[in-house]
A and B are shown apart, each in its own frame.
Chain A
Amino acid sequence: MAEPAAASTAAIYRRLVAAQVRSQLSYRVSFVLDLVSNVVFLGADLLTVLVVFHRVPVLAGFSLADTLLVFGLASLGFSLAELIVGSIDHMQRHVRTGLLDAVLIRPLGVLWQLLVLDVGLRRVGRVCSGLVLLAIAVRLAEVAVTPANLLLLVITPVVGAVFFGAVFVATATVAFWWVDSGELSAALTHGGRDFTSYPMTVFGGWFRRLFAFGLGFGFIAYYPALILLDRPDPLGAPAWLGWCGPLLAAAAATLAGLIWRTGVRHYRSTGS
């Protein structure tokens, strides 16, 4: 009984995504422009890395190839999260346009409906360039092809996506319902991505500890990358930390879910 229901729920969401594709394709030109601009966006980030390495060939003990691997893992995870969950930033608009009310009167989960109804498909561009970048980095850094490494290469971006997705949801909820500001959300999501994109040895003491352990961003790209590169942590952390990502992602997703639920309970709609 439960299984076919779950399967058909998935089918409903597939249809909703397909409807969204059709909707967005009805504005063909702007769709293509958005897609292109998103590829350019990632190119610009990458350029920063290259410029840095042009100046200093080894960054805090990591070569260009090593850094690219960390960067690739982080940006693939982040862009996946942004593709699927990023639109949660539009909460304010959803309330104003009444989309949230419309979604609440339908027999489906609120969060997933909102995400699906506002999915920014143009962000597919970023995911694609993230994939290409990661593939190049894996070659350049000469990652050994072992089953364990392949597994880690698959789960790390997924863990990253879940973790960043949770951060998106949690911060957007808090920002929307309690502090009425978009800055907090941006600081944690984009700040978190920038932190994860570089070997964390480049960052200073308390800041590094806060982001890596306090907020968990170290487990998204840095520790897995160390395993893939088969090198010990210059900061002395044990290697198995690289496998802790899934636990962390599950915890983050659970916490974000709770925060979201509390937020929806406090929803007050609009007066018209």
Chain B
Amino acid sequence: MNTDGRHGGVNVIEAHGLRKDFTVRVRKGLLRRERRDVAAVDGVDLAVQRGELLGYLGPNGAGKSTTLKMLTGVLHPSGGRVSVCGLTPVPQRILLARRIGVVFGQRSQLWWDLPLRDSYELLRHIYRVPAAEHAARLRRCRDLLELDPFLDTPVRQLSLGQRMRGELTAALLHGPEVLFLDEPTIGLDVVSKQAVRGFLAELGQTGDTTIVLTTHDLADIERLCRRIVVIDHGRVVHDGGIDALHARYGSQRRVTVDFDTAPAALPDLPGVHLEATTGPRLTFTLDNSASVGTLISTLTTLGSLRDLSVTEPEIEEVIARLYRSEGRAPSPRFP
């Protein structure tokens, strides 16, 4: 019986009804303070298979970081069941720590006053990684994340982008099966972001490492994740592909064509709507069912095309719609 999640088919991460209540003290009058439970995570179900690259999204305060802290053994859940790599995070924290890698956004796990290289050496001993294995992984990260220029610089002197690349490396040197990243691209410039994304994309492609990623930068998601889980007020409000999200919110692709001269007739295809006409330029919106190919071949019969562009629906837009529609629901947090 295999339950340790090392082999395919078994979920590497499993959560059922996972919840976390924080007790906060609210001031009532001069001296009286009332205790009140706030549900930061309110019954999350999650199943992630080995090798998946999961985007974990939600507006500020939705409970993303809190979920990740429970999955990594930092926080004790208030309720529900959770298992990661077949282990229960808090009671089996030390066993689990060897098998996962974690980057918490602006938190650091590097030694501030020592050269970056020294942190890696210390982590090698902490995780008891054989020297050769460690060296091979470090070499790969050095190449892909271009660490060499600052490997001997004390961490406190690194820029945010340099440090974040350093943190990612630190989380990977023991060869974790699951990588948890809480806003790994926060505050990075375009080039650093691309470096990090490219690196994660490559890591995800090998299929050995399961990655759970939270971010507010939807370009990260578009580039990296086939599946996204969106939570709001501590509850899962979407779990599936980005396509499914577009379908659900009726996102539309757009086709813009420039004719040499305005065509006499218009295509009449199901699911295709003319949005605008400005001289020889026509803009169509397409429902999910409609095919761009059919539209284009129909258009070529109507006149000679000079230019043509297809715009995919904006992920920003659909996510914003999702957040807004969930936000209108009465808040379940203060029952």
Contact = CB atoms under 8 A, between A and B. Distances in A.
Contacts of A108: 94, 126
Contacts of B76: 265-267
Interface string A230-272: 0000000000000000000000000000000000011111011
Interface in B92-140: 93-95, 97-98, 100, 102, 104, 106-109, 111-114, 118, 122, 125-128
Given A102-B107, A104-B93, A269-B75, A19 B69 contact: no
Interface string A12-44: 100110010011101100000000000000000
A204 interface: no
B72 A105 contact: yes
B199 to A, nearest CB: 20
A13 B184 CA distance: 29
Contact of B114 (A11, A23, A101, A267): A23
Contacts of A106: 97, 109, 126-127
A61 B88 CA distance: 60
B75 A105 contact: no
A27 B156 CA distance: 13
Contacts of A48: none
Most buried by B among A23, A26, A105, A109: A105
Nearest to B93: A104
B198 interface: no
Interface residues of A, number: 27
Nearest to A103: B109
Q: How large is the interface on B (under 10, 10 to 19, 20 to 34, 35 or more residues)?
A: 20 to 34
A191 interface: no
A146 interface: no
Contacts of A104: 72-74, 93
A107 B85 CA distance: 15
Interface in A93-114: 98, 101-102, 104-109
B126 A23 contact: no
Contacts of A266: 76
A260 to B, nearest CB: 14
A105 B118 contact: no
B59 interface: no
Contacts of B114: 19, 22-23, 26
Contacts of B249: none
A107 B101 CA distance: 11
Nearest to A265: B76
A109 B104 CA distance: 20
A94 to B, nearest CB: 12
Contact of A102 (B66, B90, B108, B122): B108
A26 B154 contact: yes
A105 B126 contact: no
Contacts of B126: 12, 16, 106-108
Contacts of A12: 125-126
A23 B111 contact: yes
Contacts of B93: 104
* B61, B94, B98, B154 interface centre (most CB from chain A within 10 Å): B94
In this complex, which of A16, A265, A268 has the most chain B Cβ atoms within 10 angstroms of its Cβ?
Answer: A268
B127 A107 contact: yes
Contacts of B128: 8
Interface centre among A11, A27, A107, A269 (most CB of B within 10 A): A107
Nearest to B23: A268
A98 B108 contact: yes
A19 B94 contact: no
| Interface core residue of A12, A19, A266, A267 (most chain B CB under 10 Å) | A19
Given A8-B128, A19-B122, A267-B76, A101 B107 contact: yes
A157 B106 CA distance: 42
A105 B66 CA distance: 14
B118 A107 contact: no
B113 A26 contact: yes
Contact of A19 (B73, B102, B118, B127): B118
A11 B106 CA distance: 30
Nearest to B104: A101
Contacts of B104: 98, 101-102
B67 to A, nearest CB: 12
A57 to B, nearest CB: 51
A11 B125 contact: yes
A22 to B, nearest CB: 6
B102 A105 contact: yes
A272 B100 CA distance: 21
Contacts of A267: 74-76
A268 B75 contact: yes
A40 B284 CA distance: 82
Contacts of A105: 72-74, 97, 100, 102, 109
Interface string A55-94: 0000000000000000000000000000000000000000
Q: Which 5 A-B pairs have the closest CB atoms?
A: A98-B107, A23-B113, A107-B97, A102-B109, A105-B102
Given A104-B73, A267-B75, A267-B76, 14 more contacts: A23-B114, A24-B113, A98-B107, A101-B104, A101-B107, A102-B104, A105-B109, A106-B97, A107-B127, A109-B94, A269-B66, A271-B61, A271-B65, A272-B65
24 contacts: A8-B128, A12-B126, A16-B122, A22-B118, A23-B114, A26-B154, A101-B69, A101-B107, A102-B107, A102-B108, A104-B72, A104-B73, A104-B74, A105-B72, A105-B74, A105-B100, A106-B126, A266-B76, A267-B74, A268-B22, A268-B75, A269-B66, A269-B74, A271-B61
